[in-house]
Copies of this chain bind each other. A is one copy, B any other.
Amino acid sequence: MRNAQQYIESLRDGREVYIHGERIEDITAHPALRKAIDHGAIDYELDKQTELRDLFVTRSQSTGSEIRRYFELPKSAEDLLKRQELIETATRNAGSVVIFMKEIGTDILNAFKMICYEMDKKYGTDYSARVARYREYLEENDLSMAGAVTDAKGDRRLRPSEQEMPYYYLKVVERRSDGIVVRGCKLHTTSAPITNELLVLPTRAMAESDKDYCIAFGIPVNTKGVKIISRPERGDLGVFDYPLSSRHTTLEAMTIFEDVFVPKERIFMDGEWDFAGPLANCFATWHRFTGISYKYPFAEMIIGAAALASDYNGVPKAAHIQDRLTDLVIYAQSIKTFGQAAARECVISENGVAYPNPLLCNIGKYLFAANYHTSMKALQEVAGGLPATGPTEADCRNPATGKLIERYLGGRKGADAISRLKVMKLVRDMGGTEGAGEWWVGTLHGEGSLQAQRFSITREFNVKKCVDYVKALLEVE
C-alpha cells in the first residue's frame, strides 16, 4: 500500500487540470490544489497508526495481499458496519471533512459488482469479469478514484436524446473494435483533479432512444481528452482564522470528455439502457450509505462547537441553549442510528453482496441533508455574533491590538480570549466561509437531491401492507 508521498507523486502525470482560469502543470505545487491533496493524503497515512491499522487494512479476497479495507466487498451486516466505521474514522481524523480518495470509487465498484451481474445474466456480456480485473488493479496499486456521474443535463425536463445540444449527457460518438470514444461532460466530479482514476456511470434511468448515453467505464485521470476544471479554492488561509478550511477540503470539478477513448476491457456498460436506472440507483444507495457515514462526525463537531461556545460564553445551562443542544443531539443520533440500521438490515444480493438497506439509507441521508441548515442555525444561534465580527489572528499578534483583544474577549472565568476566539473561528469556518459554502450546498445535493431521496423513500417503503391492514380492519374491497 502506498504512503502519502507516493500518492502525491502519482499526481504528477500530465493531467489537464484548470483552476481559477489557469492550466496547472504540476498540481502538487499549486497551493490550493496542494491543500486538497494533503487532505487526501491523510488517508494514505492513517493505516500507519497502530490503533487504526486493523480497521483500515484487510486482505484481498482474490490475491490475499494486504489492501485497504475500502476495497472490501461487504458480504454481511458486519462488513457494512466496518465500512461505516472506516469512513467515519477517516473523516474524524481529517477535521470531519470527508476525504474521498476511495469512498466514491468503491461505492461505484460495489454497484458495478451488483448490476454487471444482472446485465451479464440477461445479455450474456462479460462485464463482471472486467470489473473484477479492474478492481484488482485498483486494489493492488492502491489507487485513488473519483466518480463521474452527474451529467450537465441541459434542460432538465428532457431526456438525453431530446436535448437541443446532443452532448448534455455523456455520449458514445464512435465505436471501434478496441473500445469506444465518448464526448460530454460530468459535473460535480468530487476529487477528480487529485485522484488517479475516474469511474464513470449514467446519472439516471434511460429510454431505449437514449442507448448511446448508457455507458459506464473507468479510466486514468490523465487520459487524453479529459479536461478538469476545478471549482475555486483558496490556498492562502491561516489555521487560526480558518481552522477547518485552511487544512481540510474536498474539491469538486467539471470534467470534460473531449472525444476520449475508452479501451474495451474498461467498459462496464454500453447501451444496456434498461440497466442505466438500476445502476444509477444502486450506486445512489451505496453512496448515500457513505454519506451517512461521513456526515456523523461533522454532526458531532457541531455539538462540540455549540457546547464549547456556550460554555465559554458562560451560559451552558440557559434553557434555550439546552434546547438547541437537544435538537443537535437528535440530529446527530438520527444519522448514526439510521446508518447502523441500514447496515444491519442489509439486503444480500443474488451474487452475495451485502447491500445497505435502501429505505434506511435514504431516510438517513435525507435527515442529515434536510435538517442541516436548522442544525447549523442552532450552532450559530448558540455561538453569538463573534463568528461574524471577531478580529483575526493578525489582529491578535499586532501589539497595538492584541492585548486589547485578550482583555475584552474573555468569557466566563477561565475562558481566555484566544481560546474563545478559536471556537468562534471554528463556528465561522463551519458556516460562514467559502469552505462552509461547499458544505451548505454539498450536504443538500451531494449523494442526490432531497427530492431524489423522498421519491426513493416512498418507493422503498411497503405502503401496500399498510393499506391492506386498513382494508381488513374496515372490511372493504
Contact = CB atoms under 8 A, between A and B. Distances in A.
A122 interface: no
Nearest to A413: B164
Contact of A329 (B18, B397, B405, B457): B457
A52 interface: no
A469 B304 contact: yes
A381 B457 contact: no
Q: Tell me the number of copies of this protein.
A: 4
Contacts of A437: 387-388, 428, 431-433, 436
Given A334-B363, A391-B229, A326 B458 contact: yes
Given A243-B474, A304-B469, A326-B457, 10 more contacts: A21-B396, A167-B408, A188-B385, A188-B389, A256-B404, A307-B463, A319-B319, A333-B359, A344-B344, A432-B434
Interface stretch (A41-49, A133-141, A210-218, A445-453): A445-453
Contacts of A428: 437, 441
Interface string A391-430: 1111111101100110111111100000100110010100
The 5 closest A-B pairs by CB, nearest first: A432-B437, A21-B394, A319-B319, A304-B466, A304-B470
Nearest to A454: B326
Interface residues of A, number: 139
A370 to B, nearest CB: 8
A18 B398 contact: yes
A423 B476 CA distance: 9
Interface string A332-366: 11100110110010000000000000011001001
A423 to B, nearest CB: 7
The A interface is mostly helix, strand or loop, or mixed, namely: helix
B366 A412 contact: no
A22 interface: yes
A156 interface: yes
A55 interface: no
A431 B423 contact: no
14 contacts: A18-B401, A154-B314, A156-B315, A187-B389, A243-B473, A254-B408, A305-B470, A319-B319, A330-B363, A333-B363, A341-B341, A380-B444, A387-B437, A432-B434
Contact of A165 (B360, B367, B407): B407
Nearest to A414: B477
A13 B307 CA distance: 43
A21 B154 CA distance: 46
A229 B23 CA distance: 38
